[in-house]
Structure 1
Amino acid sequence: MPSTDLKTYMADNPGAVIEDVARERKVTPRAVIEALPSAMMRIGGGEHFAAVMQDIAEWGEVTLIVHTDDAIFEFTGPIPAGEIGRGYFDLMQPKGLHGHLRHERCAAVAFIERPFMGKSSAFVAFVNADGGIMFKVFVGRDETRALRGDQLARFRQLADRIAGAPEA
């Protein structure tokens, strides 16, 4: 459970970079996510990894981000459909984003809606067994840089299904 001061910090700074706060506070990114105001965050179990990825594959253009200590990789485009085989969730396309994801290491799927850099943002964070973030998938933006309404609706429906209805 996050400390009271971390909860207070995240309530005052909900757009803070999760990985930076985790490093500075010497906590896991999951602890930072859990410290966000409850209206901005919902968490479901990692066993939903494949179902969430299959749903996201139908959203169209999104941005996938992998944030490590050494780099921030961003891919903007559609996420390919995948399937589980030989211990991995395989992204099934020959070009663009493809690869093999260790789905069994996913302990939680977080659905986060919060302000970031002066704009609304919505993303799914796949959290590993160590409390780190495997990767994030952000709802896409339209030509005016607003969140795409169709994707935001899908994001919220998926969050309801995987993590339960939002708190009132």
Structure 2
Amino acid sequence: MSDIAQSVADIINENPSTMPGQIATQLGVSEFEVVASLPDDMGTVLPREQLDALMADLPEWGPMTTIVSLAGSIFEFKGSFPKGKPGHGYYNLVTKGEGLHGHLKLDAVAQVALVSKPFMGSDSHSIQMFDASGAIIFKIYLGRDKKRLLLADQVQRFTALKQQIVSAA
């Protein structure tokens, strides 16, 4: 086990809800280094070449929470991740009416990770995108029902994706 992995494990053992960004700040490393060092049941790195297929599949998952953090501010969108199509160097989100709009610079995504970590006492699963320096670009958290329970079909999709990666390794 690497020094970073051991430090990450120690911090998580002390407080399981500590977020990867907080751990990164504490250890003076990138957030991706922390996520890549999480215990196997908490973090799985998705091969970058699978990003296009994942982006095409996400609109079928149903309502989720997309989070963008920038300069200490956090922006959240709750709803289905929109379909997109490549154009002009971006993955253009195609939304009719209200919903998440934007243009993702997928070439800037160097790493993708699937993260399963408790947050505020609840199970949490997310798909996280990182740039070449290991900084987070955006995160997509699985949705919850009115009772704040994770949506079972999304958990199944997420688990199947993790298993596919582990089996291919």
- Are the counterparts in 1 of residues 142 and 154 from structure 2 also a CA contact under 8 Å? yes
Q: Which amino acid aligns with 2:57?
A: D
Partner of 1:38: 40
1:157 equivalent to 2:166? Answer no
Residue 117 of structure 1 and its aligned partner are, at CA, apart by 0.7
Partner of 1:130, secondary structure, is: coil
Identify unmatched segments of 5+ residues in structure 1. Answer: none
Change (3 A) 1:84 1:11: farther
SS of the residue aligned with 2:123? strand
Gaps of 5+ in 2: none
Q: State the Cα deviation string for residues 96-146 of structure 1 (Å, max 9, x = none).
A: 211111111212211111211100001111122111111110110011111
CA-CA distance at 1:9 after TM superposition: 1.6
CA distance in 2, matches of 1:125, 1:47: 15
Per the alignment, residue 48 of structure 1 pairs with 50
Q: How does 1:55-134 map to 2 (within 5 A)?
A: 55-94=57-96, 95-134=98-137
Aligned-residue Cα RMSD (Å) equals 2.0
- The alignment partner of 1:77 has SS state of strand
Residue 145 of structure 2 is aligned to residue 142 of structure 1: yes
User: For residue 10 of structure 2, what is the aligned residue in structure 1?
Assistant: 8
Distance across 2 between alignment mates of 1:55 and 1:14:
30
1:29 corresponding residue in structure 2: 31
Inter-partner Cα distance in structure 1 for 2:25 and 2:113: 19
Deviates further, 76-85 or 31-40: 31-40
SS of the residue 1:118 aligns to: coil
Q: TM-score scaled to structure 1, two decimals?
A: 0.89
**Counterparts of 1:33 and 1:2 in 2: how far apart (Å)?**
14
TM-score of the aligned structures, taking structure 2 as reference length: 0.88
- Paired positions, count: 166
Give the fraction of aligned pairs with identical amino acids, expressed as a percent: 35
Q: Contact 1:63 / 1:140 at 8 angstroms: preserved in 2?
A: yes
